[in-house]
Amino acid sequence: MKGTLDQERVKLAGAEVPGGLEPEMRATLKRALDESFVTGFRRVMTASAVLALMSSFVAGWLIEGKRSGAGADGGGA
């Protein structure tokens, strides 16, 4: 059964539980597959949000640094 599930891994959320199992076992495996996909998706989205927030702070810091440097230079228009 593990080998069959390993073959389905590439389908991600579309992975199907192998046939020939009791309905209760199929439901348990399907729920485990669904929950593992959702958990992985949430982790990736959280990491992406953190990286986006960090990059916005760095960009704001770099842009702000250039503005104050130009104003202190006396090179205004």
pTM: 0.57
* Residue 48 belongs to domain spanning: 2-72
DSSP for the chain reads -HHHHHHHGGGGGG----SSS-HHHHHHHHHHHHHHHHHHHHHHHHHHHHHHHHHHHHHHHHHHHHHHHHHHTT---
Is residue 77 domain-resident? no
**Domain count for the chain:** 1
Residue 34 CA to residue 21 CA, distance in Å, equals: 18
d(CA 25, CA 42): 26
Is 61 within a domain?
yes
Residues 10-55 have pLDDT tens digits of 556 667 777 777 888 888 888 888 888 889 999 999 999 999 999 9
